[in-house]
Amino acid sequence: MAGRRALKAVLIDLSGTLHVEDTAVPGAQDALNRLRRASVAVKFVTNTTKESKRNLLERLQRLNFDLQEKEIFTSLSAARSLLEQKQHKPLLLVEDSALEDFTGIDTSEPDAVVIGLAPDHFNYQSLNKAFRMILDGAPLIAIHKARYYKRKDGLALGPGPFVTGLEYATDCKATVVGKPEKTFFTQALSDLGCSPHEAVMIGDDARDDVGGAQNAGMLGILVKTGKYRDGDERKIDPPPYLTCNSFPDAVEHILRNLL
């Protein structure tokens, strides 16, 4: 099936796929440069909510990755779009470094709860405030529900357990805007002029990156870096189109077999 596709776009996860915090995956910069020389569009898609798009771009450029801000599509962008569409005034449970991406959004007298990865704000007082707002009718918007992510000191809890706790306590269901939601992937592809069947996703998260992309109609390539743990490829059905050691191997496969 893959060989008959006319591949037009490659979506690439960031944290765990190209880098882990301030360390690049070995060979990732050169592999990205090789991919850029091929006749395919490239876009970077991330659930990262710890920092703004600008901060993320600066981090990647310090690691010598060749990319521009307009090429990055984040779950923060998707959350902002939803807030503007619904005209919500949010209680933002995100890290201070991510607040820049919500500049201009009215947060006075909040009527919605938006939750991302916010280790500095996940305390009883802030979560209880969110709990009471949701009980009073405020919608719960999850930027994403990742179970965990990779830091340089090991795996760490993602926002998913906290979102699920609020869902359980309030007997409500969160609206999720980031990966693995189908709308996230279609939004990311919207300005590239291609359909999901003409795109491939590369990431280290079997469920959110690969499973989400494949459910949207894309091919999914799982890399064994970042948060990957042995056997992750067996956690989704259908399984990944391809599982390989790292981003450079994924690029090599695309260049040899999909273009």
For the chain, 259 residues long, the average pLDDT of each consecutive 10-residue run is 71 95 95 95 90 89 94 91 93 91 94 93 95 97 90 90 97 94 91 92 96 97 96 96 98 94
Name the pTM for this structure.
Answer: 0.84
Percent of the chain surpassing pLDDT 90: 81
Condensed to tens digits (0 to 9), the pLDDT of residues 59-102 reads: 999 999 999 999 999 999 889 989 999 999 999 999 888 898 89
- Per-residue pLDDT at 110: 96
CATH 3.30.1360.10 fits 9-47+180-258, yes or no: no
One-letter identity of residue 204: D
- Residues 1-19: tens digit of each pLDDT: 444 468 999 999 999 999 9
| The pair of three-digit structure tokens given for residue 163, joined into one six-digit string | 């979102």
Residue located via tokens 């991302």: 116
Q: Cβ of 11: how many Cβ atoms within 10 Å?
A: 26
For the record, the structure tokens of 101 come out as 């991406």
Query: Where do you find CATH 3.40.50.1000 in the chain?
Result: 9-47+180-258, 76-176
CA dihedral 226, 229, 231, 232 (to 10 degrees): -50
**Phi, psi angles (nearest 5°) of residue 91:** -85, 115
Looking at residue 39, its pLDDT comes to 86
The matching CATH number, chosen from 3.20.20.450, 3.40.50.720, 3.40.50.1000, 3.10.180.10, for 76-176 is 3.40.50.1000
